[in-house]
Copies of this chain bind each other. A is one copy, B any other.
Amino acid sequence: MCCPELVRSIPSDPAPPRGPAQGALSIAPGALARLRGVCDLTHPLTPDFPVFPAYKPFRATPLFGVARDGFYAQELCFAEHTGTHLDAPAHFYADGGGTDSVSVADLIAPLAVVSIADRAARDEDTLLSVDDLLAYERRHGRIPPRAVVALHSGWESRLAEPGRFLNADASGTMHAPGFSREAAEWLVHERDVAAAATDTLSLDFGPSQTYDAHLVLLGAGRYGLENVASLDRVPPSGAVLVVGGPAHRGGSGGPARLLALY
């Protein structure tokens, strides 16, 4: 897989400095006081969870067992973009921050869930647009700064049927909704989001060859969350997302445990 048109820079620092490990919450005072419940927005990770075709599936290999060894432990191997996971800026930018560059303050964020599930049921390649975001705000209020804005397309239900989540056609082109370039730009420049999230495999719509949403968001130093679960179980506004993102140094991404408080 070679995409020379996407080359943006030569690696300058394979391990950018770690983001601040301590800081003030960017949640408005009082917003936490109303929280009473928690919902797991993470898919259980199994060897049959669909992955981008360039990656091998998740593998867990037993190393020790209770009966034989007194304890049980496995070795895990997987590509960084497996299961419910985080994309760091370094995923698309050689000089972008790695997994450990994300500020901890941005791992605890107001969550805005924008549903385009009705349209996605009719149009597999539909794009979340600036109009969708403006319609969301008319109904649920302005998206606060450093929020995580999540695209809910209903794609999760397709995990029950092999092949329907990746949804590749006969030519291998995948079909799934994503963020439009303009929506990604608007989220960065007009609303200063911390991240964008999606219940699909990719921030970009399935047929994308140019990865516009990734490039805009990661290029602005924001992170992405993909394969997010249960977005229909949390309120569209008012929840707080805690992103248990990967802690390995200099990664392009990695599995993340997402817990929504609401």
For A42, the chain B residues whose CB sits under 8 A away are 247
Interface string of A82-102 (1 = CB under 8 A from B): 011000001111100000100
For A11, the chain B residues whose CB sits under 8 A away are 65-67
Interface size band for A: 35 or more
Determine if B108 and A91 form an interchain contact, defined as CB atoms under 8 angstroms apart. no
Identical copies in the complex: 2
27 A-B pairs whose Cβ atoms sit less than 8 Å apart in the complex: A1-B64, A2-B69, A6-B70, A22-B37, A22-B233, A23-B37, A30-B33, A39-B104, A45-B249, A46-B248, A54-B73, A56-B75, A60-B248, A63-B79, A70-B211, A71-B91, A71-B211, A73-B91, A74-B79, A75-B78, A84-B247, A104-B259, A107-B257, A108-B259, A242-B242, A242-B259, A247-B255
Q: Which residues of A are in contact with B by a Cβ distance under 8 Å?
A: 1-11, 18, 21-25, 29-30, 32-33, 35-40, 42-46, 54-56, 58, 60, 63-81, 83-84, 90-94, 100, 104-105, 107-108, 211, 230, 233, 242-259, 261
